Every structure is written in structure tokens, then in C-alpha cells.
Structure 1
Amino acid sequence: MRRSCGRARYDCVHVEPQAGTGRSSGFLADDRGGDTDDITAIIGVSGKLEGNVLYGFSDEVSTEVVKRMIGEDMDAHDPMALSALGEIANVITGNAATELAANGFTCDISPPVIIEPRGSTLTSTVPKQILVTFKSELGLLTARIGLSENARYKERAA
């Protein structure tokens, strides 16, 4: 699972090849939730693991990410920009789910949900979450990963 999360972190800044990455930090969050960033993309996870992954973007980082994806300046809260940010979250989490499945943790992901503006408080049923913050040339990015093994999960028949 550590390898899959590391791969997801890598994907987060390399989804667009122009975005370099710098130092990162990760730690186990003491709380079961947190406040949202200017724009927060949430992807639900179900299957052998269940929970959610939240990607936090400041307005400045959102604007730069969207500019690199779409190739034009756009307000970070424009519907097309929000869709692009949701798609980034979807791609990163989808790649992580593929890595997890290769390691015996079959997962499905939900379509992205976008929360804006900053300051909404979210509470998760997952008791522990990993909070990853890392620097890129676009600015500071955060991911809050809250996944736990699903005791009710039954392997699908092949």
C-alpha cells in the first residue's frame, strides 16, 4: 500500500509533465477530518479498501494547474476548471487503485466531487488518515488519504 500511495504522490505532480516536484512530507493525521482548501476534490473508494481521498488546491495552484492542462488562463472556479481538477483527482486515484489491485487490494473509485470554497469541515468514518503535503513548481499540494480494509468485502467470482 505504501508503494501505491507513493505512486499516487508521483502522479499528482507528473499528471502534467511540466510540473516538477520538490520535498514532501507525510504524517498520520490526529483527526478524522479536516477543513477543505480553496478547492477540494474528493474521490470515494470502495472494495477491499474503503474510504476517500481528498486533494486540496489553493486558488493559485488551481489556476496554474488548469492553465497547464487546458493551455489558457481561466478562473479556478470556472466550471471547466473545476472539471479539470476533478479529472486530475480521478486520474491520480485511478492509477493508485490500479497499483493497489496489483497488490491484492481491489478497489473501485467514485466520480469526483468538488467542494468549494475553503473552510468546509469534513469528517470521515476512517479512524486514521495520512496527510501528504508536497511542493511543486506550481505551489503546495495536499492529499488526505483515508482508507481502511473493508471487513464486509467479498472477492468477486472470476
Structure 2
Amino acid sequence: MTDPLDIQEFLGALTRRTEAFFNDELGIVFTGRGSQIDDVQKLDLKSVTAIMSATGALKLYLAYSFDAPLIDAAFAAYTADLDIAEDEREDAVQETAGDIINIIVGNALADLAANGPTIALSPPIILTEAKSVMRHRGAKFASAELRADAGHMSIHLIGPGELFNDSLEYVKE
């Protein structure tokens, strides 16, 4: 029998894997961090947000929200060896955000797989607008904030998943 997933442990695994990926693969070092569990009242999404839904023993959304300078720096490092046409740049930046969340979340779940429940993930969905999500109707939020010289990002765990659609808007009752 597996133990239920501990949200704080999961957020910690995501944060560690995010820091390692940005440092090792992109050469971006986070110099500041913070986290909040349960007392988050509003999520402020940044200019590019990659979202995945988790299903199975856990039903929630994971959102990686990047401010423009950080996703631009990540994109430049991630595609340094590629020749990307300017008219394809916006789509390529969004693909980069999706690739980043896929890699990091997959690795974090692998870290926790030995004692945790099975969790299935959806392909990432990309939102390209800054917006806020207020907490109500029994929603639970947990967030980590990471800061680098290049910019800031947030990792959000949003649940339960059945309260939201893929744009992180509340579903009507």
C-alpha cells in the first residue's frame, strides 16, 4: 500500500528539481525562494504559465508561471544551438515552457514514486496572459516562489482539480 502524497513534500520535490534543472541545464541560478501552504488567498499568474493536471490518487493542477524576462532567458539557453525564425519565436517560447514543466514534474514524481501513489499527468497547456486566481469554494493553493537575476517564477499546486478548467477558471456548479 502506498502513502498519500504529502503536498509540502511534493512542492519541495518540485522546487528542488526546478532549481537543479535551471542551474544544470540552463545556467540560471535561483538566489531566493519562499513557499506558502494553505494560507495563499490569491495566485498571481505571470506572463507565461504552463499547466498540467494530475489525476489518479491526486487531483490537482500544477502551474509553472514565468515572468517574461525569466522565460526569455530560459528560452535563449534552452534553444542556444537551434536556429529559430523570429516568426516562430512565440510558439517556441511556449514549447520551452511546456518542455520545462514536463521534464521537471516527471523527475519530481520519479523522486517520490517509491512511497507515493500513482499519478497521471496531462500534456501541458500554455496560458500567455497574466491573471489572478482568487481562492474560494473550497479550493486549496500551495505555492513556491523562485527568484534569479534573470527573473522570477512561481510553482503553484491548485486543487481539488474538479473545481477548475484548463484555464484555471472555476467550473460553474
TM-score range with shorter-chain normalisation? 0.7 to 0.9
Q: Which amino acid in structure 1 is aligned with residue 106 of structure 2?
A: G
State the TM-score, normalizing by the size of structure 1.
Answer: 0.79
**Segments of 4+ moved more than 4 angstroms:** 72-77, 120-126, 147-150
Match of 1:10 in 2: 16
Distance 2:136 2:20 in 1: 28
Unaligned runs of 5+ in 2: 1-5, 163-173
% of aligned pairs identical? 20
The answer to whether structure 1 residue 50 and structure 2 residue 59 are counterparts is yes
Match of 1:30 among 28, 40, 48: 40
Hey, which of these two has a bigger chunk of helix by percent? 2
Q: CA separation of 1:122/1:68 partners in 2, compared to 1, >3 Å: closer, same or farther?
A: farther
Shift of 1:24: 0.9
Residues 45-103 of structure 1: per-residue CA shift (max 9 Å, x gap) = 01111111111111111100001111179779610111011110111111222233222
Q: CA separation of 1:104/1:14 partners in 2, compared to 1, >3 Å: closer, same or farther?
A: closer
SS in 2 for 1:82: helix
Matches within 5 A, 1:19-98: 19-28=28-37, 29-31=39-41, 34-71=43-80, 78-98=90-110
Distance 2:28 2:141 in 1: 26
Between 122-131 and 100-109, the greater mean CA deviation after superposition: 122-131
CA contact (8 A) 2:11 2:143 kept: no
Q: CA separation of 1:81/1:109 partners in 2, compared to 1, >3 Å: closer, same or farther?
A: same
State the TM-score, normalizing by the size of structure 2.
Answer: 0.72
Q: Which amino acid in structure 1 is aligned with residue 36 of structure 2?
A: F
Shift of 1:117: 1.8
- Root-mean-square deviation over aligned CA pairs: 3.0
Residues 118-138 of structure 1: per-residue CA shift (max 9 Å, x gap) = 126487977211111021243
Unaligned runs of 5+ in 1: 151-158
Distance 1:110 1:41 in 2: 11
